[in-house]
Amino acid sequence: MSRRLTPYIFAGLLGAISGVYIFKPVLEEVAAAKEIRGATEGIKSPVPEHPPVKA
């Protein structure tokens, strides 16, 4: 039975390790972008971007 399960366990571990290796830089980049956006979100511009439309 162990001979049947070993390839699946090995493939699962290899997939998890390679997934971390591949996606870790992407996830760190997204986290850094969220930190920057969160830090600047409270800053409001004194001048409105678009003047109000008169009807």
| pLDDT at position 25 over 70 | yes
Residue 8 Cα distances to 16, 18, 20, 23, 28, angstroms: 12, 15, 18, 22, 29
User: Is the model's pLDDT at 41 over the cut of 70?
Assistant: no
Please, which pLDDT band fits residue 35 given cuts at 50, 70 and 90?
Answer: confident
Looking at per-residue pLDDT, the higher value among 49 and 8 belongs to 8
The pTM score is 0.50
Domain ranges of the chain: 1-43
